[in-house]
Amino acid sequence: ELQKLSRRVSASVSTELTEIEIAIVQSTHGIRNALPQLKWILGLTWGAMIVSLSLTGFLLWRSTQPLRIVADMPLETFQSEGQSYLVVPENAKPLQCTTPSGRTAICLHLTNGE
């Protein structure tokens, strides 16, 4: 009776181990087939990250640069008695505004030659 039971258990375990081995082989085969695609996706991910970091660095650097006045803006300055003055253009309207940093300042609204 024990030998019968032992044979049945052995056959059952052997069948289960064979099924597990087949599943492992199939999984390994699937992973090997997917590796080239995964490498391609990983390469694209790294490329996108490098481009994003480069663009972010450039934009951060650009935001720290002082504002440059465009050559065609009608702003005229002069000095008198050691003081510098800015001449308000004819098409500008002075108004009180809040800067992006939250400071209240006198600003000029430049209209388009109206």
Instruction: For residues 85 and 49, state if they share a domain.
Output: no
Which amino acid, one-letter code, is at 16?
Answer: E
Quick one: tokens of 50?
């490098």
Return the percentage of the chain with pLDDT > 70, whole number: 89
Tens of pLDDT along 59-76?
A: 998 888 766 655 566 678
Instruction: For residues 6 and 37, state if they share a domain.
Output: yes
10 in any annotated domain: yes
Count of structural domains within the chain: 2
Instruction: For residues 61 and 80, state if they share a domain.
Output: no
Regarding predicted confidence, which is higher, 18 or 36? 18
Instruction: For residues 87 and 43, state if they share a domain.
Output: no
Domain holding 9, by residue range, is 1-65
- pLDDT of 32 reads 85
Instruction: For residues 32 and 84, state if they share a domain.
Output: no
DSSP the chain: -HHHHHHHHHHHHHHHHHHHHHHHHHHHHHHHHHHHHHHHHHHHHHHHHHHHHHHHHHHHHHHHSPPPPPTTS--EEEEETTEEEEEPPTTEEEEEEE-TTS-EEEEEEE-S--
Task: Say what the pTM is.
Answer: 0.39
pLDDT at 19 over 90: yes
Mean pLDDT of 15-36: 89
- Tokens 């450039």 found at: 58
Instruction: For residues 52 and 91, state if they share a domain.
Output: no
pLDDT at 114 over 50: no
26 in any annotated domain: yes
